[in-house]
Structure 1
Amino acid sequence: MNSNGGASYSTPFLRRGHVIKIGIAVATLVFLASVSRFRGRGGVAMDEYGDIEPDNGGDASYQVLKKYHVAWYDPKTLHPPWTEADSSLLRTKLGKQVTDEVLRVNVTQRVDPVKSENAEDQDDFYPPDFLALTKRLRIHKALLRYLEPYYTELESQGRQEEFFTGPSSPELAPALEMLRKIEQVTFPWITSKFPSTFHLQDSFRKGGKGIVMCVGNYHVIFARSAVKILREVIKTTLPIEIYYMGEGDLAVNHRQWFEKFDNVKTIDILTKLDNTVPKLGGWAIKPFAILLSSFDEVLSMDADATFFEDPRILFDDAAYKETGTLYFYDRTLFPGVWGPRDWMRSFLPTMSNHPPKTRWFKLTGAHEQESGVVVIDKREHFAGLLAICKMNDRRERDHVTYRQSWGDKETFWIGLEMVQEPYAFTPYYGGVIGDFGDHGEKDRICGNQLHFMADGRPIWWNGGLLRDKYAKENVHYLKYQGYLYDEDGPWDFGTSCISPRRVDSIREMPWKERQKIFEYLKIDREVAVELSSPYKQVVDVPPLVQSDGAYGGKGNPGK
């Protein structure tokens, strides 16, 4: 167990008469052990501003920190591990008062009541208190690490079902009870199916690597193409789990179609969790599907995401190996708009070096992460993934999360901030892949959002294969003449185009890549013919002409 996940608890909501006494008790709970300055896995040191120190022999960690945007935490702000002293505190009258505050079922901020047609109880009219939630999640993570050896010992004896019910030492009993209560209050959708989150971890331990995709009847028009491309053109052998929500969400004939492919399974997520509390739907399903999948290393992809090559390479990415995550940025949109930095500061007592460097904090963009592809190691980020899911729980998303961000996107990094776990972004914002402007303008590229590896090469795009997946008229495939980086110029959100500051910034798609993409177009048309109206329009594939490239098929200038 390391020291990243200890407990921290403050008591601003207690009666004034108890503040001093409980403050002393809490100080015992959150006492920070002396820790050296942060070092990555390879021993790379960073200064107080989050910048790496001079190259320590060119090791792997140094190279990752140079090439990627990596979140780390000042050791002075990291929370300590749970100790026997903390368990002893829980046995006291004072400790029980602290526990009661930690375990309040629906911790709410009694300000600005919100009218809601979906309200199920009085607390639904008040936004959840994310500061209290953050503290609870950090305590939970500390308990997981403290109790892990005990669970592992029981598991080795085949007695893991006795985790809460069997005999335990007096030192462990208070911590076990605290963990049990926190999980019942915070993750009822888990405890209704599993005795503890440790048992949930067992369900995917040694599950290997795999792709997770969430698909409903609407998404079939994209998902069928995505699966066929992955299996028939890219020829990845990664297993795929497709999650849907209930019998009416994904028709039987669609499920049968997907399962014709080797190692592709369709799974009703409602068979794996109790949906009474989270009431999943839309974007919120994704993190839960990642958590409940049988894989311990997950590549989550949207149905309209398309890869240039086998996505397996993302599991070999240096930043993924360093941090257990690989994230991609969204495009830069709506600069100057108010950003949610004050919101983040309100519930994160401590943050990594990353948030102050974001477009959110600098007010240069209203979005940060594109969650169309997320790569995460559940073994290393189990507590973080629980926090991500909690941000997408019904009350949290309806009253707070989705009011501050566009759906699930930002929860994948903010959830890790809540429990102080590292994460990494590739250094490029979302660019554009497509054709010259809709009327043949040679000074801009219009199409879909493109994402890059750390070396700048395109790796995937989202939005499907049509010029506009939402269009009802003038529906056509792109020719994939060129692409631009987000940094090359501003986005026009309405047309999904980038007009570069310098026209020679436009890069031509390599001929070999265009040939491969046209194989994708043929598959997409085959899927359209299979589905036909009303599911998907049948669109003719344009002729593949090398000279249609941005530079007449000759490649980029100087290349």
Structure 2
Amino acid sequence: MSLFQRILTHRLRFLLPFVVLLPLFLFLTSSRLPTAPVQVPKPKVHASRTPPPEELISYFIKHPTKPEAFGELGRRVQVLQSWIQTIDTPINTDKSPTLPADLEAFSSALFPYLREGKTSNGTTIPPLSALFGRHKPGSKGIVIPVGISSFRFATHLIGSIRNVLRSELPIEITYAGDADLPAEYRHFLTSTFTGVETVDIIPFFNDKELKLAGAGWAIKPFSLLASRFEKAILLDADSVLLQPPERIFTHHTSFLENGALLFHDRLLFKNAFVERQNWWRSQLAYTTPSTTWLTTPANVDQYSENGESGLVAVDMGRLPVFLGLLHIGWQNSKEARERVTYIMGHGDKESWWLGFELCGVPYSFGDQYGAVLGEKKVDEEKEKDKDGKETGGVKSVTRVCSFTIAHTDDKKKLLWLNGSLLKNKMGSSTEFWVPGHWMRDGVWEKGARKEDWSCMRDGVAEAVDRATMEAWSGSVEEAKRLDALVRPIVGEL
């Protein structure tokens, strides 16, 4: 089924092209931008003429966006989406018989990393259709990018999914070439666990634009784009699931509503990275920011950490989500990530929400910023007034401390955490632990060094419930079992 046939099953029909293209033309020539907007060629006839799509597409192809033009690229993606959503109307097909080919050229100009595909009989498939067509309608699964350095944690995660949480969702292990994840490592994963497939994503893209081998976080959005799953949960290898992953697809209201579920980082660094905040706003000026962004503490209170990407859930059968992922992928391409993305944020973390925002894609964050799952501590502290002066009194302060970040579902139950089953993955490689308490909605006190744990205070502290404790304890035992099996491959842990 072609890209354009697939789209019809996922959306309502849109208005006729005259109704769509005239507002788009006015939008493109708007004077509200912080820098000079793209200049669309002037019509050669009466000024009220709506430029045909081929004319605008030709202009965009001849004038590609620069690596720092995140907002402008988002506007063009919105134009692409609007045109795709009109092609099934008969009058559109009659007036613009070459529109699909033009749209393929337009999308390739926006995203040079796209690559043609092939059918089983060798027929060439245009790039956008080839990538969209990889996602099998109705399919669901888990995608985990894995390299040599994260291989051990990946075995812990898969072992927990299969043997503790008892999930049978199919799993794709993605990697960037043989050197990234050698054959011996891949064979262990596919022979030890059921329903696991390994996928080298390099052949699906123009890697001259991406340089994914050894690029770490950059592989993540491309792992989703190249997946055969329509609905997919992307997991970092060192993530820990505390509930069966199927529940995200079936019960998480935010995912069901928008088809794009993200999670917040810790609430840290208020007013600390002014340049980052200013840059976000300069790019968001190219679109109409969503309520999701406008109400987030990162915007309202100037916190500098917004997104966390250890777990991302998407429905790529929804055209806006798929196109938003193309923008997120572009942010993680070699030139963009080295010049902007990984300078203005920590790795890929902020690229997810920003890509959806700039493309006008509805998405959801988990209800709360990062929580903490760890060890409870109660200390006595001297009381202070609002000016920070000691009053002479003493108060009891409860903290929960850890090296990891925990996240909840839409019912405020622990769902997953980022950081592995180890007490501190940056410290002892063999010290597992079973944390007994967790806290949310508090104030973070971040450790100064990697070997110092971070604490949350003044929040809602709770003992870990029985189901979560069983999931964690069972996962630790499974991890220890798997460690014995991987030693011949990885050596000393």
Q: Which TM class, normalised by the smaller chain length? A: 0.7 to 0.9
* CA distance in structure 2 between the aligned counterparts of 1:26 and 1:236, rounded to whole angstroms: 63
Which residue type is aligned with residue 470 of structure 1?
M
User: What's 1:467 paired with?
Assistant: 423
Cα distance change on mapping 1:375 and 1:100 into 2, 3 Å: same
User: What's 1:375 paired with?
Assistant: 313
**Structure 1, unaligned stretches of length 5 or more?**
30-84, 109-126, 151-167, 539-559
Cα distance change on mapping 1:491 and 1:149 into 2, 3 Å: farther
User: What's 1:491 paired with?
Assistant: 445
* CA distance in structure 1 between the aligned counterparts of 2:298 and 2:468, rounded to whole angstroms: 34
* CA distance in structure 1 between the aligned counterparts of 2:345 and 2:329, rounded to whole angstroms: 15
Aligned counterparts, 1:440-455, within 5 A: 443-447=398-402, 448-455=404-411
* CA distance in structure 2 between the aligned counterparts of 1:102 and 1:513, rounded to whole angstroms: 52
Aligned counterparts, 1:374-453, within 5 A: 374-380=312-318, 381-436=321-376, 443-447=398-402, 448-453=404-409
State yes or no: 1:527 paired with 2:482. yes
CA displacement 1:424-475 (0-9 Å, x = unmatched) = 1121111111224699x994322221100122111111100111101148x5
* CA distance in structure 2 between the aligned counterparts of 1:499 and 1:28, rounded to whole angstroms: 60
User: What's 2:6 paired with?
Assistant: none
State the TM-score, normalizing by the size of structure 2.
0.79
From 118, 135, 148, give the equivalent of 2:75. 135
User: What's 1:178 paired with?
Assistant: 102
Which residue type is aligned with residue 464 of structure 2?
M
Aligned counterparts, 1:151-550, within 5 A: 171-173=95-97, 175-193=99-117, 194-206=125-137, 208-260=139-191, 261-280=193-212, 281-316=215-250, 317-339=252-274, 340-348=276-284, 349=286, 350-380=288-318, 381-436=321-376, 443-447=398-402, 448-472=404-428, 476-485=431-440, 487-494=441-448, 495-501=452-458, 505-532=460-487, 535=490
What is the alpha-carbon root mean square deviation over aligned residues?
3.3
* CA distance in structure 2 between the aligned counterparts of 1:327 and 1:173, rounded to whole angstroms: 39
Question: Does the residue aligned with 1:507 lie in a helix, a strand or coil?
Answer: strand
* CA distance in structure 2 between the aligned counterparts of 1:501 and 1:395, rounded to whole angstroms: 42
Which residue type is aligned with residue 229 of structure 1?
S
Cα distance change on mapping 1:523 and 1:132 into 2, 3 Å: same
State the TM-score, normalizing by the size of structure 1.
0.70
8 Å CA contact 2:266–2:371 kept in 1: the answer is yes
Question: Does the residue aligned with 1:429 lie in a helix, a strand or coil?
Answer: coil
Question: Does the residue aligned with 1:133 lie in a helix, a strand or coil?
Answer: helix
User: What's 1:541 paired with?
Assistant: none
8 Å CA contact 2:146–2:154 kept in 1: the answer is yes
Cα distance change on mapping 1:27 and 1:320 into 2, 3 Å: farther
Cα distance change on mapping 1:192 and 1:201 into 2, 3 Å: closer
* CA distance in structure 1 between the aligned counterparts of 2:169 and 2:210, rounded to whole angstroms: 30
Which residue type is aligned with residue 189 of structure 1?
Y
* CA distance in structure 1 between the aligned counterparts of 2:150 and 2:158, rounded to whole angstroms: 12
* CA distance in structure 2 between the aligned counterparts of 1:270 and 1:26, rounded to whole angstroms: 48
CA displacement 1:192-233 (0-9 Å, x = unmatched) = 334141232222131511000000010011000110111111
8 Å CA contact 1:183–1:191 kept in 2: the answer is no
> How far did residue 265 of structure 1 move?
0.2
CA displacement 1:68-89 (0-9 Å, x = unmatched) = xxxxxxxxxxxxxxxxx542x6
* CA distance in structure 1 between the aligned counterparts of 2:150 and 2:41, rounded to whole angstroms: 56
Question: Does the residue aligned with 1:484 lie in a helix, a strand or coil?
Answer: strand
Which residue type is aligned with residue 342 of structure 1?
N
Cα distance change on mapping 1:300 and 1:149 into 2, 3 Å: farther
8 Å CA contact 1:192–1:274 kept in 2: the answer is no
8 Å CA contact 2:41–2:59 kept in 1: the answer is no
User: What's 1:161 paired with?
Assistant: none
8 Å CA contact 1:328–1:369 kept in 2: the answer is yes
CA displacement 1:519-558 (0-9 Å, x = unmatched) = 21111112222233894766xxxxxxxxxxxxxxxxxxxx
Cα distance change on mapping 1:21 and 1:394 into 2, 3 Å: closer
* CA distance in structure 2 between the aligned counterparts of 1:375 and 1:20, rounded to whole angstroms: 37
> How far did residue 11 of structure 1 move?
7.9
* CA distance in structure 2 between the aligned counterparts of 1:308 and 1:424, rounded to whole angstroms: 20
Which residue type is aligned with residue 160 of structure 2?
I
CA displacement 1:16-63 (0-9 Å, x = unmatched) = 9x969739999969xxxxxxxxxxxxxxxxxxxxxxxxxxxxxxxxxx
* CA distance in structure 1 between the aligned counterparts of 2:149 and 2:96, rounded to whole angstroms: 49
* CA distance in structure 2 between the aligned counterparts of 1:377 and 1:288, rounded to whole angstroms: 15
8 Å CA contact 1:102–1:132 kept in 2: the answer is no
Which residue type is aligned with residue 328 of structure 1?
F
Which residue type is aligned with residue 107 of structure 1?
T
* CA distance in structure 1 between the aligned counterparts of 2:474 and 2:400, rounded to whole angstroms: 22
8 Å CA contact 1:287–1:388 kept in 2: the answer is yes
Which residue type is aligned with residue 490 of structure 1?
W
The total of aligned residue pairs comes to 433
User: What's 2:384 paired with?
Assistant: none
Greater RCO, CA 8 A, separation 6+: 2
Cα distance change on mapping 1:479 and 1:411 into 2, 3 Å: same
CA displacement 1:385-433 (0-9 Å, x = unmatched) = 2122122222222222222121211222211122211111121111111
* CA distance in structure 1 between the aligned counterparts of 2:102 and 2:462, rounded to whole angstroms: 57
User: What's 1:157 paired with?
Assistant: none
From 6, 16, 22, give the equivalent of 2:42. 22
